Structure 1
Amino acid sequence: MNKKILSRQILVLCILIFGVLMTNIKAQGSLIRGIVTDYQTGKVLDMANITLQPMSGKGIIGTTTDGNGLYQFNDVAAGEYVFVVRYVGYEMHIDTLTIGLRARNISNHVQLRHSREELEEINVQGAVAEDMNPGQISISPETFGRAPTPGGSADLASYIQTQPGVVAVGDRGGQLFVRGGTPSENMTLMDGLLIYQPFHIIGFFSVFPEDIVSNVDFYAGGFGPRYSGRTSSVMDVRLKNGNLYNQKWSASVSPFVSDFFFEGPVREGKSSIIASLRGSMIEETSDVYLSEKQPMKFNSQLLKYYNSSGEGVNCSALIMRTYDRGSLDFESDDYFKWSNVVTGGRCAGASAESKVSFVDFNFGLSYFSNEQGGSEAGLRNSQIFKSHLDMNLTLYVGEMRFDYGFFTDYRTMSYDIANLFVSLDEKAVAFSSAGGYLKMGVNIGEKFLIEPGVSITSYLKRLPPSVEPRLQMSWQPRGRVDEEIHAALGIYRQPFAGLTDFRDAGTSFTTFILLPESERRMEAKHALLGWRQPVGDFFDFSLEGYYKEIKDTPVATWGPVARFATKLAYADGTVRGMDLRINLNYRRFYMGLGYGYSITEYTTRQDHFGTWFGEPVQSYNPPHDRRHQLNAQTGFNVGNFSTNVSWSYGSGLPYTRPLGFDSFFSFDQRPPDVTEDYGEPRVLLDKPFKGRMPDFHRLDISVAQAFNVGTKDIKVQAGAINTYNRENLFYYDVFNQRGINQLPLTPYVSLKIESN
């Protein structure tokens, strides 16, 4: 059957199904739904425990809120009930509900207040990254500080690099590889808005310092159909809302970065803003206390407005700008420069009048520009723009949950990289897409959940339509939410590619393009199986194995001689591995251990290598193939004193070894005089990525002491990056045959002042 006809039939079928569901839902009893939020900020509280107990004392029922803070009780019989909401660190909410004989929909939204008695306990127990759905961990901003960061505020970038399966090739460049995928295959969302490059050129920092983040859901694979258009990972970041009642601010300074943060009400109890300003300082301070100047610079600005109706509906709008510029090889005049501009808005909520349980609508604009220049590279540039409209809905039908949505977007891409990929001339393209997704949650008994889904996208004649089935399953043997065996399968496609010349590991330049051959599209098939288990009251561990098949990944054509310009080729491949996490949280002490094992292998045609290696199809490990990865973290806090220690190890990354050197003559203008002209030296290369760089390991330490001075809190932090001064290789320059190292021992002191 024609793929286009099939896609249309599936889309029409989904619309018909939901039309029937939404117009024919009949309940025998009443429906109670609502959203649980923080009283001061409007932050949604997921995993809040809610019970509904008849006054008779019999037949108590319970549920928990989802990631949107939503809960729902279906088919509630007439009578009087005690309604109780519990959430760690908040005062318990108790109410009495009277349900009449006539069935109706009831909204009961709850705002919880912080409990003073439990705040100290929360600082320890609430700062744990817990495994959630297949391939997912949920990260709170309190966790960021477990990875020492040379700034006044902890940062998501430093913490995410300690997770197994996440590979950074060095401490600069802003490039992260997740389970064998490339950086352009990762999706980063900020309150539902896409940001193309969230990581700064200095590898410890991103656009997400702890001050502005509410929660992070990180999917290393196997993610559901709501997320489409990427083949590797998703980082879904929710920004915090400003305080609706009190003004708060903070400012910090360190040798690496300075920042300022403000939050406060616009209309007390109704609306608020947050503002964040950050700027790097390492370029100015490195001359003073480091052995060489660090020519890297970044800054970012964020403004967010939040409004709450108090009736379960809230809206927000934000704008963010970022700028990065610098060199990765301090001896070269090559530079990299990029910028993001993101703006948009979101409205979400639940209403008793609607048959749909929850509605989330967002729109936005995302722009990213990228440039590389220098005497060797020449000038290369790339820009991409996206506008989008999304609608996400949740609907309960009996015990089944339906998550579905619709989206449309418009993209433009332009680039000039002819001096890098000779087959790609200067070009500008534009295309639109529209589609939808459906995910159904079906409970089989009380312990098994199966969630089939599908994502459908039409590219309006530019590309063939894409139908991407997904499946997630979980089994809780003893009915505990923290003890589970889970699995996921799915097909993932990406309409465009982020093209990077990974022959040179020291690059941060990425060009977003539609693949020149329209029948090709980047594709990955994910399969994973995992187990998470608590051990006693303080230990927990998780183990997840994964397998990926990769298709049509763009790569550079290799030759036996080092050249700056190349041609575009394609590779298929596989990724297989496992991630293990073990955590201990005991009162004021924590310890964490993460181990990742992975094998990434590409295969491509022999004619993409430029010399004969004896087989029609060649296989190799790409430069981000890290076989073993180990991260250990520990720390404690006593009163206002805290310390954090993080040790990271990574086995050597692949690189291309030189076979030898010779000279060559150019006959472009005239025959050379071989008696006096010795030609130009050149490097002869081995088969790509057959060598391995030395292993990487690094110890980072921080200690902090907080003081209260009147109405201000002052925090002084001292620490060191690469404490035992290990010479870690950043990358090996294949063209000039020399190694570039990462940071040596780098001590720092930071000062942070905030209102209380």
Structure 2
Amino acid sequence: MSSIQLSKRLNQLFLHLLGQSCLLIFSAFLVLLMPLWVIAQTHDATLRVVAISEEEGTTIVGATVILAEPDADTLFAGVTDSYGFIEFSNIPARIYQIKISYIGLETHLSLIEIEPGQTRIYRPELRATSEELDEVIVSAEHRAGTVRREAGRQTITGQELQRVPSAGPGGDLTAYLQTLPSIVTTGDRGGELFVRGGTPYQNLVLVENMPIIKPFHISNLFSAFPQEALSSVDVYAGGFGAEYSGANSAVMDVNLRQGSMRRHQGAFAVSPYLYSYQLEGPITRDRHSFFLMGRHSIIENTSPSIINEEIPVQFYDLIGRYSINWPNLTCNITAIRTYDNGQINPVRQVNLNWTNTVAGLRCLGFAEELEYPIDFTIGYTGYTSSEAGVDNTGRTSNLDMGYMRLDNNVRFLGISSNYGFKVEFIRYTSELDQLFADNTRREARYLGLGSSLDEIATTFSLYFSSKWEPNSGITIQPGLTSQTKLRDLSPTLEPRLRVTYRPTNSDHSEFSFAIGRYFQFYEAITDERDAGTVFGIYKPTDEGDPYPESIHGILGYRHQFNNHIEVNFETFGKSHKNIPVARWTREPGNTLETGLANGLSYGADAQIELNFSSLYLSMGYGLAVVTYEASTNNLVAWIDQDRFRYNPTHDRRHQLNVIASYEFGKFTGNINWQYSSGGTFTRIYAFDLALQNLPDQHPLRHQGTAQTLFSEPFNARFPAFQRVDVSLNRTFSLSSRINLQTEAGLINTFNTRNVFYFDVNTMQQVDQLPLVPYVSITTRIR
């Protein structure tokens, strides 16, 4: 290359970096100065509402708030967020009748006057009631079905979790998620959930705005989020809004509850699977509180006597919170620690281990002096994972992340809008034994890393979204997200759009639509050939390699026939690009080579809910088709075609689920039936005795090494999976301050033999859990 050509290329590179830097600085400049644009706007008035529980003194998430003319029509309505907060801005100054309602609490009614130009903070307290009041129906939020839905999104509370039997005391998020038509698992172990064709590593799990990498325990029956700690969970199976970035399949946004601000209380519970403890209460009444909860598994000790077989798994989760509720500021300091250790297949004696550590601060400032509320988050996320065998070989993959996030809402051009930015500093480290790493294949994307990885990546993202309601029947929510690595300053453009249409201008019938583009800046390399391990390597996408990308499209319809019956239907499609997948060779090997594949998933969900005073019934069906496609040279070597298509292991096609809950007398009975068609696997082609050191080995004198030869990848399916779980609950009141909650149940009631996978190395079938009886006892002191 001549000096002139070199100078020209350097000049082009400089101009490119300068242009991208200017774009990044200009975007940040617009975001930071946006509040100044709207200060000059004239506002009539602003009302900020913080809903409080009178009994606990804590904020109420998901309460319905209505502003109306006194004894007349509704003017404004909405639902409180994860802080129990909602703002009505640019509303006429006048006297309003405010109505606030929440299931299990008395409806709050009062008159409130707002002066011109005033920003008023209102903190009503809602009393508990022994009778469940009729919930006010507003804006597709509270309906006959207790789970709130729109295109791709479901909002879940603790009330839903307790209807699904689990082997421990109380409900758990994982047990409930597995009943949703859009979510499948590969078995009852491994801690992995697949959402509408996406892999676990394409999902984003947030807890109080802080990412947590793998919060689902190795048993797949429990997560880090028990019912007692949850306030609400927003599950986006796809089509999520602009405020979420860094994932291209699904989002689970978890909100934890605050510790009681008005009384000290605690609980201790035990079952054959685990024991738990809980303690909470005020530090300063109505201002400061704490919440502590922990759970530890004991099934590894109790399983031989209960089910006559060993379950070699150990896990625990710890949650700690310090909450501050000041008149114009709400803050929560949250810390979570999880630990998992065990074996998916005890015969192979391959030990898996992972931990999560999350700690951070999240605050919402809404003082009257602020033009708009400000939501601020700062924190740390740590993740470690390892896999080790009996030969003392092993591998580790760790991730350390520090982050800061700011979210705000404004009135922009007269439209309610949200904007924010996020900065993440992530360190990826891994160590691979020589059976897993191979430096001889430099053309292979993963193996070229060698036996270790230590890399730091810094990403910056910002978003802007609006909510426009041209009339009472249509809501349009456009948004735009942009992410960039500070290493290369090549920002992405990720447009998002959500639309809801209510043809009758009421909440009884609603169409919803969502579409969006999504990028992910990291990869997680797993060996999908081996169902006996869930170990994966996290790494940033290499410079010059294309980012994993997806496009989502969802169309949904919901209809409420009356106050007791509701039906939901959704159809979806996801297109994925640049998915790292394991390369296949006919002979099994210890190295893991990867290639890039494209994926397509599509299908439909249907669900009907019946909710009466003592009976709840939910029936759901999901159809999902998942197909991967890649160049034969990039994926497999022995297939005689240019492109190879296959259905990965999480292509489960059909999924049915029924949940029934019935209250009779002082008892509550729950039943959960699950069915899904089997996942794919690769058949064995033949067994061979191979000579490894030709010509030193002679076929007549040496026996050779036994090898298993595979057929075409993923060319067969396992039998269908089905399981029935039942439970019976009753609470005994021992005194005015002490309650005893009891639960007896059966997991896999009919002892159905469900295949987890078949180990071709040991020629053994590994089954999922057999019949597991349990009794749990919880003592609560108030």
Whether the TM-score (by the shorter chain) exceeds 0.5 is yes
Cα RMSD for the two superposed structures:
2.4
Amino acid across the alignment from 1:202: S
| 1:134 counterpart = 2:126 | no
Structure 1 distance, partners of 2:106, 2:592, is 63
| 1:375 equivalent in structure 2 | 390
For 1:226 and 1:165, locate their aligned partners in 2 and report how far apart those are by CA, in whole Å. 22
Q: State how far apart, in whole Å, the 1-side matches of 2:32 and 2:356 are.
A: 40
* Aligned residue in 1 for 2:202: 185
Q: Does 2:418 match 1:403? A: yes
Q: For 1:329, give the aligned amino acid.
A: N
State the AA in 1 paired with 2:180. Answer: Q
Deviates more, 1:88-97 or 1:640-649: 88-97
Q: Contact (CA 8 Å) 1:344, 1:365: kept in 2 or not?
A: yes
Structure 1 residue 4 displacement after superposition: 3.3
Work out the CA distance in 1 between the residues paired with 2:199 and 2:219: 19
Measure the CA separation in 2 of the matches of 1:579 and 1:632: 14
1:15 matched to 2:45: no
For residues 186-201 of structure 1, the aligned pairs below 5 Å read: 186-201=203-218
Per-residue deviation, 1:737: 4.1
Contact 1:256 1:281 in 2 (8 A): yes
Counterpart-to-counterpart distance in 1, 2:522 and 2:89: 43
1:551 aligns with 577
Q: Go from structure 1 to structure 2 and tell me whether the alpha carbon gap of 1:578 and 1:6 turns closer, same or farther (over 3 Å shift).
A: farther
Distance 1:129 1:189, change over 3 A: farther
Please give the residue correspondences for 1:256-655 in structure 2 after superposition, counting only pairs within 5 Å. Answer: 256-309=273-326, 311-356=327-372, 358-375=373-390, 378-397=393-412, 400-417=415-432, 419-420=435-436, 422=438, 423=447, 424-425=449-450, 426-462=452-488, 464-481=490-507, 483-516=509-542, 518-655=544-681
Shift of the 453–610 alpha-carbon distance from structure 1 to 2, 3 Å rule, reads closer
Unaligned ranges ≥5, structure 2: 1-14, 137-141, 439-446
Displacement, 1:76? 4.6
Shift of 1:440: 0.6
Q: CA deviation at 1:715?
A: 1.9
Corresponding residue of 1:38: 53
- In the TM superposition, what whole-angstrom CA distance separates every residue of 1:591-616 from its partner, at most 9, and x where no partner exists? 11111101111111111344332221
Shift of 1:205: 0.5
**Count, aligned residues:** 747
Q: Is the 8 A contact 1:171 1:204 kept in 2?
A: yes
Q: 2:765 is aligned with what amino acid?
A: G
Distance 1:199 1:97 in 2: 45
SS across alignment from 2:301: helix
CA distance in 1, matches of 2:391, 2:506: 59
Structure 2 counterpart of 1:702, one-letter code: S
Q: Mark the CA change 1:329 to 1:84 in structure 2 (over 3 Å): closer, same or farther.
A: closer
For 1:684-695, list aligned pairs within 5 A.
684-695=709-720
Q: Give the Cα–Cα distance (whole angstroms) in 1 for the partners of residues 464 and 209 of structure 2.
A: 18
Shift of 1:482: 5.0
> 1:153–1:252: 8 Å Cα contact kept in structure 2?
no
Structure 2 CA distance for partners of 1:89 and 1:747, relative to 1, 3 Å: closer
Q: Structure 1 residue 120: deviation in Å?
A: 11
For 1:458, the aligned partner's letter is T
- 2: CA distance between counterparts of 1:747 and 1:14? 59
**For residues 126 and 251 of structure 1, what CA distance do their matches in structure 2 show?**
34
- When residues 295 and 126 of structure 1 are mapped into structure 2, their CA distance, relative to the original with a 3 A threshold, is farther
- Give the counterpart letter for 2:655 in structure 1: Q
Letter in 1 for 2:366: A
- The one-letter amino acid paired with 1:274 is F
Q: Which moved more, 1:574-583 or 1:476-485?
A: 476-485
Shift of 1:47: 4.4
1:255 corresponding residue in structure 2:
272
Mapped contact 1:435–1:458 kept (Cα < 8 A): yes
Give the superposition deviation at 1:564: 2.5
Q: Which one is further off, 103-112 or 405-414?
A: 103-112
Aligned to 1:62: 76
Report the CA distance shift for 1:81/1:550 in structure 2 as closer, same or farther (over 3 A): closer
Deviations along 1:672-697, whole A, 9 cap, x unmatched?
A: 24334221111111111011111111
Cα distance, 1:537–1:77 mapped onto 2, change above 3 Å = closer
Does structure 2 conserve the Cα–Cα contact (< 8 Å) formed by 1:604 and 1:617?
yes
- Contact kept in structure 2, 1:431 and 1:462, CA below 8 Å: no
Deviations 1:86-144 (A, max 9, x none): 434323334443444x533222232322234437999xx99954233421101111211
8 Å contact kept, 1:562–1:682 = yes
Could you tell me how far 1:618 is from its partner in structure 2? 0.7
1:466 match: secondary structure: coil
1:160 partnered with 2:177: yes
Aligned to 2:244: 227
Given the superposition, is the C-alpha separation of residues 512 and 77 from structure 1 closer, same or farther in structure 2, using an over 3 Å criterion?
closer
Code of the aligned partner of 1:559: T
- CA distance in 2 between counterparts of 1:383 and 1:471 reads 35
> Which amino acid in structure 2 is aligned with residue 388 of structure 1?
Y
Q: How far does residue 221 in structure 1 lie from its aligned partner after superposition?
A: 0.3
* Larger displacement relative to structure 2 (257-266 or 60-69): 60-69
**TM-score, normalising length: structure 1:** 0.94
Tell whether 2:120 aligns with 1:106: yes
1:275/1:52 Cα in 2 relative to 1: closer, same or farther (>3 Å)? Answer: same
- Measured after TM superposition, the shift of residue 304 of structure 1 is 0.6
In structure 2, how many angstroms separate the alpha carbons of the residues matched to 1:81 and 1:170? 54
Q: Name the CA distance, whole Å, in 2 between partners of 1:112 and 1:415.
A: 51
Deviates more, 1:360-369 or 1:461-470: 461-470
Q: 1:155 to 1:6 in 2, by over 3 A?
A: same
Of all paired residues, the percent bearing the same amino acid is 29
Deviations along 1:61-85, one digit per CA (max 9) or x if unpaired, are 2322342444444455555444443
Gaps of 5+ in 1: none
Provide closer, same or farther for how the CA distance between residues 644 and 120 of structure 1 changes in structure 2, counting only shifts above 3 A.
farther
* Partners of 1:556 and 1:611 in 2: CA distance: 12
TM-score normalised by length of structure 2? 0.91
- Greater shift after overlay, 521-530 or 454-463? 454-463
Q: Kindly provide the amino acid, as one letter, of the partner of residue 337 in structure 1.
A: N
Counterpart CA distance in 2 for 1:84 and 1:748 is 44
What is the match of residue 680 of structure 1?
A: 705
Q: Using the alignment, how far apart are the partners of 1:84 and 1:170 within structure 2?
A: 46
| Residues 242 and 465 in structure 2, CA contact (< 8 A), matched pair in contact too | yes
Q: Which amino acid aligns with 1:325?
A: N
Any residues of structure 2 matched to 1:199-218 within 5 Å, and which? 199-218=216-235
Structure 1 residues 201 and 80, CA, compared in 2 at 3 Å: closer, same or farther? closer
Cα separation, 1, equivalents of 2:74 and 2:89: 14
Question: For 1:614, what is the secondary structure of its paired residue?
Answer: coil
Distance 1:419 1:10, change over 3 A: farther
Distance 2:473 2:740 in 1: 48
Mapped partners of 1:314, 1:224: distance in 2: 24
Identify if the C-alpha distance between structure 1 residues 78 and 288 changes in structure 2 by more than 3 Å, giving closer, same or farther: closer
